[in-house]
Amino acid sequence: MNFNRVAPWFERLEKMVFRDQMQICRTAFLSDLPAIKKAALIGEGNGTFLVQFLEHCNCEEVHYIDSSKTMLDLAQKRLQKSVIPGSTRIEFYSLDLSLDAMPDQNYDLIVTNFFLDVFSAAMLKNVITKITSACSRDAHWLYADFQITGNRFQRWRAFAWVKTMYLFFRFTAGIQTTSLADPSTLLDRNGFQVKWSTEFDNGLMRSELRQRK
Ligand SMILES: C[S@@+](CC[C@H](N)C(=O)[O-])C[C@H]1O[C@@H](n2cnc3c(N)ncnc32)[C@H](O)[C@@H]1O
């Protein structure tokens, strides 16, 4: 799996298909975050979330993790263009979390936006276990992703969208998974309970703020 090829087009495609809904979903609970010391933004792509995150969150360390070098370059360029004080507190890591370890421990915030959906159910368990074992005891988790839920029409619509996206990313990024695995049970089991949750685009996307108890 490699997002290098699709990275330069990702933002344009997102806006064409979903307008501003994905960004609204990513940023829904930014104002609800407590004081954060060390955050890991994982599979965070081209940096659309990063700039808004830094405007809201004054945390001491931000570890920005992605397996695509092109995505990391785009995020770094976007950051250079913005005028956010203290952007030196960000470290960029080129890591494949299906193979590599987390770069550090004791994160008190994890962010996964439209990232966990790239994994099959079996792989998702490994990745979530790896991430949670690098978190502090009362860490927060900001989550945004697609979902298949709701009434018959909503489920059918979401199913069609998700299938289309997996097909597209199979050819452009080599994604292997073909069905969406909901990480809720795994997050619950690892102690991350939902504090706030909301849906967007007629239930196609869900944003959650979770905290470990
Ligand atoms: C669907 S994109 C989402 C990007 C961004 N979070 C967003 O909201 O637009 C998935 C991102 O996860 C990254 N990714 C995929 N598999 C990964 C892995 N095993 N380890 C780290 N990053 C990965 C990709 O390079 C890509 O940037």
Q: 45 in ligand 1 pocket by Cβ < 6 Å?
A: yes
Q: How far apart are CA 54 and CA 183, in angstroms?
A: 26
pLDDT exceeds cutoff 80 at 86: no
> Once rounded to an integer, what is the mean pLDDT over residues 187-193?
98
CA diameter of the chain:
48
Please choose from 1, 13, 46, 68 the residue to mutate so as to test ligand 1's pocket, defined by most ligand atoms within 8 A of CB: 68
DSSP assignment string, 27-62: HTTGGG----SEEEEES-TTSHHHHHHHHH---SEE
Count CA within 13 A, CB hemisphere, residue 194. Answer: 12
Q: How far apart are CA 72 and CA 50, in angstroms?
A: 11
Of 53, 70, 171, 165, which is closest to residue 113 (Cα–Cα)? 53
pLDDT one-digit tens code per residue, 101-124: 999 999 999 999 999 999 999 999
Nearest CA, atom 10, ligand 1: 115
pLDDT one-digit tens code per residue, 16-54: 999 999 999 999 999 999 999 999 999 999 999 999 999
Q: How far apart are CA 155 and CA 164, in angstroms?
A: 14
Q: What is the predicted pLDDT for the residue at 83? A: 76
Going along the chain from its start, the domains and CATH numbers come out as 7-212 (3.40.50.150)
Residue 84 pLDDT grade (very low, low, confident, very high; cuts 50, 70, 90): confident
Q: What is the predicted pLDDT for the residue at 89? A: 87
Q: 47 in ligand 1 pocket by Cβ < 6 Å?
A: no
Residue 70 vs residues 87, 92, 93, 150, 176: alpha-carbon distances, Å: 20, 12, 12, 36, 20
pLDDT exceeds cutoff 70 at 150: yes
pLDDT exceeds cutoff 80 at 96: yes
Q: 75 in ligand 1 pocket by Cβ < 6 Å?
A: no
Residue 77 pLDDT grade (very low, low, confident, very high; cuts 50, 70, 90): very high
Q: 113 in ligand 1 pocket by Cβ < 6 Å?
A: yes
pLDDT one-digit tens code per residue, 134-149: 999 999 999 999 999 9
Of 12, 97, 88, 17, which is closest to residue 46 (Cα–Cα)? 12
Q: Above pLDDT 90, what percent of the chain?
A: 92
> Once rounded to an integer, what is the mean pLDDT over residues 61-86?
92
Q: What is the predicted pLDDT for the residue at 58? A: 86
| C-alpha of residue 149 to centroid of ligand 1, in Å | 23
Of 24, 2, 5, 27, which is closest to residue 15 (Cα–Cα)? 24
Q: How far apart are CA 145 and CA 26, in angstroms?
A: 8
pLDDT exceeds cutoff 80 at 87: no
Q: 135 in ligand 1 pocket by Cβ < 6 Å?
A: no
Q: Which two tokens stand for residue 127?
A: 């990745």
pLDDT exceeds cutoff 90 at 11: yes
Q: What is the predicted pLDDT for the residue at 32? A: 97
Q: What is the predicted pLDDT for the residue at 206? A: 98
